């Protein structure tokens, strides 16, 4: 941390105003040791609300990959210590290895819950950040995500993934239903009830597109949470793998006919569909858009085995991207543009996750010897990857950094959770 502070002192003031406090990438990156004691509860607050806030806030910080959240069992500071620098014994926090200290105070006023967060540099005792936010009293997790986002933005100058949404499929008996939830899988809302609905994806506006067998054939539907499903692709033998363009105005999907499957691009309502691949006996599936909307990555067996390819959004300039292994699938293009995550099957029929650099073709392994790991999806800021794994039985959703570090399960109940898709973050307020 001393080296980091010294480097910041050498940066011109104008640049410093925009420079991140923590550079997330690079060989010298290490998580920042952060002490985060339990929130204090002021008049009107209750322990249950504080506990729900604390669980969500701590999970956000831990899963971010940029903090080393210190174990509270080792804390030696007075538990009744205050929120101001003058009331804090910083030497006690330095003794446990903390370089930053974040304190939160909660107060409830009727139906509103207010959280005040203060961040301190333990070495200097300086208060680096003070933020207050409100949320409905019955949504303490929402307040936790908002304050965790403020802390993340302070250190990185980037939006966090904590305010974003995900969609996924829950398998229960013969049913496969589509859900939308907060980024950590909590607060889930079912879009479908019974039947077979698969491969959901979120639009920038919060709509969900998915393949449904509700009319006994695999068609593509679009649905808003709380709204009615609308069919947008009903032709062909099987329509699957729909993906929204970054601006939400177009969709790409795979349409099977006879012995082939081609990639189509259409307006988001399904109109004006046009095939952009043409391999009479080949299968082209699983399209994913580049962040500028100009290219599409997809899976094709045109070379003899399923591999990841890229092409222009009009089908031009097809280029094979993966050459290792003989079964690569489910690509997801990072919002940062540089990487595509994908699933590869090895000789043991186990699935693991990799990234391939779009320009250099460099492949990086993310998981190994931890069950089967599938369906990677990048966070809206490209820093995290969510995936489905059976490493602890069933099929659960986990998250890790884009480098494959800090792998954690989402705090969801046990079950079969499949094919996550991570939506975009809401605009900063």
Position 141 pLDDT exceeds 70: yes
pLDDT greater at residue 72 or residue 3 = 72
Q: What average pLDDT does the segment 199-211 reach?
A: 96
**164: three-class secondary structure by DSSP:** coil
Position 70 pLDDT exceeds 90: yes
Question: pLDDT tens for residues 363-410?
Answer: 999 999 999 999 999 999 999 999 999 998 889 999 999 999 999 999
205 Cβ neighbours under 8 A, 6+ residues apart: 248
Task: Output DSSP code: residue 34.
Answer: E
Cα gap 132→150, rounded to integer Å: 10
Q: Is 262 in contact with 273 (CB distance < 8 Å)?
A: no
Position 24 pLDDT exceeds 80: no
Position 18 pLDDT exceeds 80: no
Q: What is the pLDDT of residue 6?
A: 35
Position 13 pLDDT exceeds 60: no
Q: What average pLDDT does the segment 166-184 reach?
A: 97
CA dihedral of residues 296, 297, 302, 307 (deg, nearest 10): 180
Q: Any idea how long the chain is?
A: 429
Q: What average pLDDT does the segment 70-84 reach?
A: 93
Position 20 pLDDT exceeds 80: no
Position 336 pLDDT exceeds 50: yes
Q: What is the pLDDT of residue 154?
A: 96
pTM here is: 0.92
pLDDT band of residue 26 (cuts 50, 70, 90) is low
Question: pLDDT tens for residues 88-118?
Answer: 999 999 999 999 999 999 999 889 999 999 9
Q: Is 401 in contact with 407 (CB distance < 8 Å)?
A: no
pLDDT greater at residue 48 or residue 6 = 48
> For residue 105, which of 154, 147, 145, 159 has the smallest C-alpha distance?
147
Cα gap 31→52, rounded to integer Å: 25
Kind of pairing, strands 416-422 and 165-172?
antiparallel
């Amino acid at each position: 941390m001393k080296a980091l502070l010294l480097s910041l002192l050498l940066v011109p003031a104008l640049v410093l105003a925009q420079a991140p406090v923590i550079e997330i990438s690079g060989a010298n990156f290490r998580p920042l040791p952060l002490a985060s004691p339990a929130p204090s509860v002021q008049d009107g607050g209750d322990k249950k609300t504080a506990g729900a806030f604390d669980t969500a806030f701590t999970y956000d910080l831990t899963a971010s990959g940029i903090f080393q959240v210190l174990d509270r069992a080792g804390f030696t500071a007075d538990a009744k210590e205050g929120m101001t620098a003058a009331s804090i014994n910083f030497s006690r926090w330095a003794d446990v290895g903390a370089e930053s200290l974040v304190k939160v105070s909660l107060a409830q006023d009727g139906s509103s819950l207010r959280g005040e967060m203060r961040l301190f540099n333990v070495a200097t005792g300086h208060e680096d950040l003070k933020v207050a936010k409100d949320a409905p009293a019955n949504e303490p997790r929402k307040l936790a995500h908002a304050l965790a986002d403020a802390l993340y933005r302070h250190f990185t100058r980037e939006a966090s993934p904590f305010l974003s949404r995900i969609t996924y499929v829950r398998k229960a008996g013969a049913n496969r239903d589509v859900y939308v939830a907060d980024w950590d899988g909590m607060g889930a809302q079912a879009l479908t009830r019974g039947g077979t609905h698969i491969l959901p994806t979120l639009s920038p506006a919060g709509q969900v597109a998915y393949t449904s067998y509700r009319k006994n054939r695999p068609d593509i539907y679009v649905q808003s949470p709380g709204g009615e499903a609308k069919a947008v692709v009903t032709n062909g033998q099987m329509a699957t793998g729909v993906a929204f363009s970054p601006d939400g105005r177009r969709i790409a999907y795979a349409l099977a006919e006879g012995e082939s499957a081609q990639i189509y691009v259409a307006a988001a309502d399904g109109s004006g569909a046009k095939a952009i691949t043409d391999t009479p006996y080949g299968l082209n599936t699983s399209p994913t858009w580049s962040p500028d909307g100009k290219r599409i990555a997809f899976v094709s067996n045109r070379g003899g085995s399923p591999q990841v390819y890229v092409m222009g959004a009009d089908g031009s300039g097809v280029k094979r991207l993966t050459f290792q292994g003989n079964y690569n699938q489910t690509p997801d293009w990072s919002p940062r543009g540089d990487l595509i995550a994908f699933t590869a099957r090895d000789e043991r029929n186990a699935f693991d996750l990799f990234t391939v650099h779009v320009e250099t073709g460099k492949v990086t392994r993310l998981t190994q010897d931890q069950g089967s790991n599938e369906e990677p999806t990048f966070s809206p800021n490209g820093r995290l990857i969510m995936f489905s794994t059976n490493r602890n039985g069933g099929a659960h959703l986990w998250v890790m950094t884009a480098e494959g570090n800090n792998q954690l399960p989402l705090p969801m109940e046990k079950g079969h959770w499949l094919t996550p898709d991570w939506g975009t973050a809401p605009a900063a307020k």
